[in-house]
Structure 1
């Protein structure tokens, strides 16, 4: 997936908005105001930072040592940096984005989850 496809996939999710709160070179995707993905736009290699369940994060890093790393500038227990330009399938990239999104949605207060659910 290229950055345009990643952006489109993230923005198609319910309650998602993008922005540049950390400067004009890092696109941030939020669901109901909470970050679930960050994509640096000025990097030599296109990557995306995604939240991940800690045990699965370790497994992914061991299974894909050339493509998935501890989250750059993030809590390395809960975030991975994923290389989007290598051999990872689009299906896996989408699964990782979905997982990050779902982790954030589950962490939202029940009232906010209900508000998200009511969105069209």
Structure 2
């Protein structure tokens, strides 16, 4: 999957918005004001919520060692960083994006959830 395809997919989620809180090198896709994808534009990576905590997210790191790593600062909360140039198949990457989005939406107050 290319970086552009990933951005289009994330931005196409209901209620998704694109933000650049740390400059032009990282795009953060949010829903209801909460991040569901941290896209490293220079590094060609994406940070996604892959489980309830680091242990649950470790399944993906074990499946794709080197291409899926613990995300800095938020890894203990189940966030992993995935290399777009690595061995993770597109179907798995899309599953991870969907799961991250759904996990964030589920935690939003009902009034801030997007209409689907």
TM-score, structure 1 length as denominator? 0.87
CA shift for structure 1 position 14: 0.2
From the CA coordinates, give the structure whose radius of gyration is larger. 1
Please show how residues 1-120 of structure 1 align to structure 2 within 5 Å. Answer: 1-43=1-43, 46-53=44-51, 54=53, 55-71=55-71, 73-77=72-76, 78-113=78-113, 116-117=114-115
CA shift for structure 1 position 36: 0.6
Gaps of 5+ in 1: none
After superposition, what is the alpha-carbon deviation per residue over 1:54-79, rounded to whole angstroms, capped at 9, x for unaligned? 243111111111211001x3311221
Aligned length: 113
TM-score, structure 2 length as denominator? 0.90
Gaps of 5+ in 2: none
3-state secondary structure, aligned to 2:88: coil
Q: 2:73 & 2:10 partners in 1: Cα distance?
A: 19
RMSD in angstroms over aligned alpha carbons? Answer: 1.3
Q: 1:87 & 1:40 partners in 2: Cα distance?
A: 17
Q: Give structure 1 regions of 4+ aligned residues with deviation exceeding 2 angstroms.
A: none
